[in-house]
């Protein structure tokens, strides 16, 4: 009697882990885009000052946080995107 027992996580834990993955990836992407936009504005319009970069990073982090909050408050779970 060799019974194959697979230890799997409960559905709620898997859903929570999936949500964290999406939130962290989204926040990193938004922060990177804000950083890039800040650098671009700094070089083109503001004589290479630092405040547009910090402002862009702040906007990116804020946007990532607000979208992450919406993801965690959503009762529907994650949406599936098919490529």
Q: Which residue has the higher pLDDT, 9 or 49?
A: 49
Does residue 83 lie in a domain region? no
Structural domains in the chain (count) = 1
Does residue 70 lie in a domain region? yes
What are the pLDDT digits (tens) for 21-79?
989 999 999 999 999 999 999 999 988 888 999 999 999 999 999 999 988 888 776 66
Does residue 18 lie in a domain region? no
Does residue 17 lie in a domain region? no
Residue 83 confidence class, pLDDT cut points 50, 70, 90: low
For helices 51-73 and 11-45, give the axis angle rounded to 10 degrees: 160
Between CA 47 and CA 7 the distance in angstroms is: 58
Residue 40 structure tokens: 């671009």
Domain hosting 45: range is 32-75
pLDDT exceeds cutoff 80 at 10: no
Between CA 8 and CA 59 the distance in angstroms is: 38
Does residue 3 lie in a domain region? no
Does residue 24 lie in a domain region? no
pTM for this entry: 0.73
- List own/partner pairs for 66-69 with CB under 8 A and 24 or more apart: 67/23, 67/26, 67/27, 67/30, 68/23, 68/26, 68/27
């Amino acid at each position: 009697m060799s019974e194959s027992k697979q230890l799997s996580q409960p559905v709620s834990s898997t859903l929570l882990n999936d949500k964290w993955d999406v939130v962290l990836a989204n926040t990193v992407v938004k922060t990177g885009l804000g950083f890039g936009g800040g650098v671009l504005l700094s070089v083109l319009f503001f004589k290479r000052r630092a405040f547009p970069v910090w402002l862009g990073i702040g906007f990116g982090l804020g946007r990532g946080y607000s979208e992450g909050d919406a993801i965690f408050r959503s009762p529907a779970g994650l949406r599936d995107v098919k490529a």
